[in-house]
Structure 1
């Protein structure tokens, strides 16, 4: 929907107070997307689009950098360096699963990456168990495991009626399941003596 879609997101922000995180697909679109979004997302397919990484590095907005589907941890961190090198130090890394030989799940969620990033970098890392598994029934256990592994946040897809979602319905939680998960996450974070929102 291009700019009209961005305008709808801005309206939703005004109505709810929620911040907008949305994907930017190419360097030519960075200025437009940055005019509406609070955080620019670089999707897994663009993790190694170095012109785009440099452009978001210059835009002044925080960047959510998703791990490429076949990227090593070192390659992911090197991609972040392109953003940091342009003077933008507000980078959030997102583990969203990598491609392996496993076919039951959409991807293989690499939770060892959370500990590795915490050891190798100062950057915050969040986990996306929705894309990481592709199955809503696996979102809760993987979200809980991500919190236990030290993730700084979660990216979870929610839809009022996942069966009718135009995309990603099989990996989306309904609002009741999401609310129950957030309660469990808060309890786990408290048990682990970690802060949660």
Structure 2
């Protein structure tokens, strides 16, 4: 209800993460526009089968250590139910590196685009885990052919209840959008 009250007067779509199959009916009741399946649920096959039965776009985030083949096969569980409106979201994978949260696998973008016609978006916020990394990762993703970005923004990141370290301020997001337009134009794309 909170999301509806905030989004509908501004004609914004609602994208929210489904973590438990028992909540699917609530998502449908409140007419969520896009269902997100988080990285930790990428291989929750019962959940994937159920969202495969609904007529809603599904963002499928890559699991923390999932190969591209495993990620594609997870999407097959959704598609097998009849829902082919799947969006892949690269959000970084876990490696031995500890200087940042995850390694953003830029290579996954062209590799997935070669294997499937489905859109590929990138979450640079969760990949680096720090706001100062988000612009560089976002620019690289657009240059590599990403179809979209999930970027966290908060009016005052220090007061954010979660993911405060990776949230951009409104001004930082505005600056990033300007830079993204330049990179997109340089590689023959538009935003």
TM-score, length-normalised on structure 1?
A: 0.94
Cα deviation per residue 1:105-153 (whole Å; 9 max; x = unaligned)?
Answer: 1111111100110111111000000000001011000000000000000
The partner residue of 1:155 within 150, 153, 160 is: 150
- 3-state SS in 1 of match to 2:87: strand
Q: Distance in 2 between matches of 1:187 and 1:31?
A: 42
Question: Which residue pairs with 1:136 in the alignment?
Answer: 131
1:21 corresponds to which residue? Answer: 15
Q: How many angstroms does 1:28 deviate by?
A: 1.6
Q: Which residue in the other structure is 1:4 paired with?
A: none
Report the CA distance between 1:27 and its aligned residue: 1.5
Moved more, 186-195 or 22-31: 186-195
Task: Give secondary structure in 2 for the equivalent of 1:19.
Answer: coil
Provide the TM-score with structure 2 as the length reference.
Answer: 0.97
Structure 2 gap ranges (5+): none
- Indicate the residue corresponding to 2:34 in structure 1: 39
CA distance in 1, matches of 2:5, 2:184: 32
Q: Is the contact between residue 30 and residue 59 of structure 1 (CA under 8 Å) also seen in structure 2?
A: no
CA deviations on 1:154-187 (whole Å, 9 max, x unpaired) are 0000011111111101100000000000111112
1:177 to 165, 172, 175: 172
3-state SS of 1:93 partner:
strand
From 102, 105, 109, the equivalent of 1:107 is 102
Structure that is richer in helix per residue: 1
SS of equivalent residue, structure 1 residue 59: coil
- Tell me, yes or no, if structure 1 residue 98 matches structure 2 residue 117: no
Instruction: Indicate the RMSD between aligned Cα atoms, in angstroms.
Output: 0.8
On the 8 A contact 1:31/1:59 being kept in 2, the answer is no
Task: Work out the number of aligned pairs and report it.
Answer: 190
1:86 to 42, 59, 81: 81
Match of 2:185 in 1: 190
